[in-house]
Chain A
Amino acid sequence: MMRGERGVRFALAVAMATALGALTACHHEAPSAANPAPTAPTPPPPRPTVTLQASPTFIDQGQSSTLTWSSTNATKVVLGADSVAPEGSKTVTPDSSTTYSITASGPGGDAATSVRITVSPGSRPAEVSAPPLPFDQLFRQNVRDAFFDYDKYDIRPDARDALARTAEFLRRYPEAKVGIEGHCDERGSLEYNLALGAERAEATKKFLESLGIDGNRMSTVSYGKERPFCTEHDESCWQQNRRGHFVSAR
């Protein structure tokens, strides 16, 4: 559930996540994959993988969202209670916030992930007040946050893609400045998360610098686990809170 008392932040987070389109779902540890037995007579069947995305992840009541999934090495894929094709998409119109789970099974085992669609009741004030500045709209549509694994601050492949989009926007608007907020999920300790969030913000900044964006256009701040985007106690929520989040700092 988003925190009600931070209305402005709520609206921004909703807009960001809407623009974001797809949140990466669970990070699954695959302990055996890194160290295959060197002299195994028959290689074990490959582990299935599965991804599930929702676009958008934040909707108003009555609106629809599209679930898109793909899998590898799976003989059976189950979305919710239904068997589905190894790859596909489906439009859903949940009445209230819903977590969609998908499981891929094969000879190499099972893989599962989930994605959450947050439904806001009624319409928001933004729809009835004056339209926002075009720049802010463009910022929200084009700037993508970087998401991180648990207790990590290295840039994942999906975050590389997101930050490439962000860099493209910043190149198109050379006057634009951004603040980068480092956030962490609730599972770590308060003080260590302040340090970890600083590393995430810094790693996000460094990656943009490597893409040619001037470091003077970016400031960083860590919020640790003090300003979560989402306060439910599950992985889809934790993943939303492990991020380098961009705010416009013109």
Chain B
Amino acid sequence: MRTNRRNRSASYVLPAAAILFSLVAAAGGTDRLNASAAPQDWFRAGTGMGVEKARVAVADFVAGNQGSQPLGQLFTDTVRADLEYSGILDEVSKSFLPQADPGRPEGLKEADWTAAPANAQFVAYGTLTASGNTLGVDAWLSDVRTPGAPPAIGKRYPGAVTNEDVRRVAHEFADEIVMRLSGGVPGIALTRIAFTSSRSGTKEIWVMDYDGQNQTQLTHGRTIAVAPRWSPDDSRIAYTCLAGTFQICMYSMELGRTVAFAHYGGTNSSPAWSPDGTRLAFMSSGVAGSPNIYTADATAGGGLKRITVSGGPDTQPVWNRKTGQQIAFVSGRGGLPQLYMMNADGTNSEKIDLPDMGYVVDPDWSPNGQLLAFTWRRPDGNFDIYAMDIATHQLVQLTRDAGRNEKPSWAPDGRHLVFQSTRTGKWQIWTMLADGTEVRQLTTEGDNESPNWSPK
């Protein structure tokens, strides 16, 4: 199964499908399905390897009373969109679904769903009930190929009677399904993406749901705010803002406002969090004149410590999210910017060799610490997104022939990436599966850049 991964010299850049096995296997971790769900164990063989994925049908959710009628369609549509984009299952197309919607387990006729054309293994279904402003969704996931088995999921999801809350509850249910069918890796339907948008007239930090819904402006500095990065617990966003010179700035999601952070001399940018959330690494030219990597206390910026001493510009540090032991970064010490790796204390700095020279920036470490995504403009080529296995240096190209593509950021499931692209003209935010498929546009208004996927 892993023969390709050791074959380092023969072929550096592989088609996307070849590396996807390792993506999925790595994302799944060791915590496989428990014994009662053992029949789905075949899933571990992997997306994109020609092995069948779990086939899931989502029935129309039934309105239990009149008040819940308009919300049922939104709930069903949201669950379907989430599952379709999860990348771990095969969703039955709407036109193949049986006419009758079960609503409750006693109404589920397994044979209708296992038969052609649905051919489902699992069915998601349920009932919405509204009472005043209170909404309750009873939702189930049943394995229709094992009649008599208790539902894999059977849960009441409480919420409010608003479109926003219906979407939230639908995301919760979809995430639960994804977790069950993917061996314990949580879904990402409740995650968010921070980004920079110019739509208000100046570049400010914005945040949106993972599917592009609820785009909300966070900062109002009216200068330039770019390169947001979520703290590991999602409570804060560090970013780069122009305040005389470029400085490290901090936004508290809990307080809903910017909070004080130390100002340093010179130009400062590209903050990144240590996995425990206690330190920031960033670029600063304040002390040495030349931009180098420093770390500081993440609370208020004290305890500034220089960790690179090169003559050329060093920037864009990113901690290994799994181990916290290494920092990947970008340096122009040899001319064009290239990827480097060092220990988190700055020792053992080493260039990551790629097959040919070019312009390499924007490293981002996958949640399992095994893959680096980055932006690479190869000689005579365009800016495209690549992913590299750190251990084997095996590479996969994820975008091609579609404008300029930069600034990849991993979703917490390790299966999705968000990036910025000019493929439709202006810079916009897009997401894709980590094999380069299922590309979706999330923004359309103004210029949108520097996406960063929340770690939770």
Contact = CB atoms under 8 A, between A and B. Distances in A.
A188 B289 contact: no
Contact of B313 (A195, A206, A221, A226): A195
B267 A197 contact: yes
B313 A199 contact: yes
Interface string B282-309: 0101000111000000000000000000
Contact of B267 (A192, A205, A222): A222
Contacts of B452: none
Interface string B222-233: 001011000000
Interface in B256-299: 266-267, 269-270, 283, 285, 289-291
A202 B246 contact: no
A54 interface: no
Contacts of B245: 221-222
Nearest to A200: B313
Nearest to A150: B336
B332 A198 contact: no
A199 B285 CA distance: 8
Nearest to A194: B269
B359 interface: yes
A192 B266 contact: no
B240 A192 contact: no
Contacts of A202: 285, 289-290
A189 B246 contact: no
Nearest to A189: B361
A192 B449 contact: no
B406 interface: yes
B70 interface: no
B384 interface: no
A211 interface: no
B337 A198 contact: no
B227 A192 contact: no
B316 interface: yes
B316 A191 contact: yes
B224 A226 contact: yes
Interface in A197-245: 197-199, 201-202, 205-206, 220-222, 224, 226
Nearest to B316: A191
Interface string A165-208: 00000000000000000100000111110111111011001100
A192 B450 contact: no
Contact of B450 (A190, A198, A222, A224): A190
B267 A190 contact: no
Report the interface size class on chain B. 35 or more
B330 interface: yes
Contacts of A95: none
A195 B314 contact: yes
A188 B316 CA distance: 14
Contact of B361 (A192, A197, A205, A224): A192
B209 interface: no
Given A189-B362, A199-B291, A194 B332 contact: no
Contacts of A60: none
| Most chain A CB within a 10 A radius of its CB, from B203, B224, B227 | B224
Interface in B334-354: 335-337
B163 to A, nearest CB: 35
Interface in B355-402: 359, 361-362, 375, 383
28 contacts: A188-B337, A188-B359, A188-B361, A189-B361, A190-B227, A191-B240, A191-B315, A192-B330, A194-B240, A194-B246, A194-B270, A194-B315, A195-B283, A195-B313, A195-B314, A195-B332, A196-B332, A198-B266, A198-B291, A199-B285, A199-B291, A199-B332, A201-B267, A202-B289, A220-B266, A220-B267, A222-B246, A224-B246
Interface of A: 151, 182, 188-192, 194-199, 201-202, 205-206, 220-222, 224, 226
**Closest 10 CB pairs between A and B?**
A195-B313, A198-B267, A222-B267, A195-B315, A195-B291, A198-B285, A189-B361, A202-B289, A194-B269, A221-B245
Interface of B: 203, 224, 226-227, 240, 242, 244-246, 266-267, 269-270, 283, 285, 289-291, 312-316, 330, 332, 335-337, 359, 361-362, 375, 383, 406-407, 449-450
